[in-house]
Amino acid sequence: MTKLTVAALQLALGGSVEENIAAVSELVREAAAKGAKVVLPPELFEGPYFCRVEDEDHFATARPTADHPSVQAMQRLADELDIYIPTSFFEADGPHHYNTLAMIGPDGKIMGTYRKSHIPDGPGYEEKFYFRPGNTGFKVWGGPDKATLGVGICWDQWYPETARSMMLMGADVLFYPTAIGTEPHDPDLDTSRLWRRAMIGHAVSNVVPVIAANRIGTEGGQRFYGHSFICDERGDYLAEFGAEETGVLVAELDLAAAKKHRAAFGFFRDRRPELYGRLTQDI
């Protein structure tokens, strides 16, 4: 494990399931052609971000993992292109529904799933109406050249506990598929700066590269921020988009250097878990 080339996709996703999967697939192919071995699409890319409102009709779009069209399409691409694709989708598991990610490996097989742990609930982001809190716990997976990949989903990215937990599980790089945009209750609040700073903080405090993929465009009056990025273990941008670009970000990560820097900073050496019990207690 020395170098790893990764990609983040940014695009508008206001079309039909078929149109969105086709658009994502085109960018996945572009990323693979540029050498990416792990390609990250945005959160819930199968359609428009339906959680803007509470509408029971949307439950009909959920599918079991193996039957979901987004998962099936990315499985075919991963197998064809010999890459890893962390794939976000709306999962139905019997009567339960989750915001789930399938880690798809280069043979096209599902390596495992992660169900989003932190579920937001507020104007424009009514996710608690649709999703149960995840019951998988945080997950990491073996990736290219023995790199270990950690993935959180959108709202998870605001929690330092998510990033630190994945690091303690051995993650070498952190990925966050995202759907974040304007705040309907406060037009003057620009959270695009805040969510980037939060993730860059995870990069710095864990000495780990971070990749974030967000959607763009306007859906039902809500404008999605874009600003997808790849940063290194110092929190410095290696590649970034603004608010409107459609395309592929690709960067080569030096995971061996990150590991060396992580050890030198001593953040994990100097941890005091015996003092952190309050973190596991309810307020």
Write out the catalytic residue numbers: 43, 116, 154
Q: Report the alpha-carbon angle 27-193-178, nearest 5.
A: 40
Between CA 67 and CA 70 the distance in angstroms is 9
Residue 67: CA atoms inside 13 Å, Cβ hemisphere, count? 8
Residue 134: CA atoms inside 13 Å, Cβ hemisphere, count? 22
Which SS3 state, helix, strand or coil, does residue 171 take?
Answer: coil
Q: Which amino acid is at 30?
A: E
Q: Which helix (H) or strand (E) segment is 223 a member of?
A: strand 222-225
Between CA 208 and CA 163 the distance in angstroms is 10
Sheet holding 96-104, edge to edge: 85-93, 96-104, 110-115
Q: Give the CA-trace dihedral at 116, 119, 125, 129, to 10 degrees.
A: 100
Instruction: Give, as one character, the DSSP assignment of residue 172.
Output: S
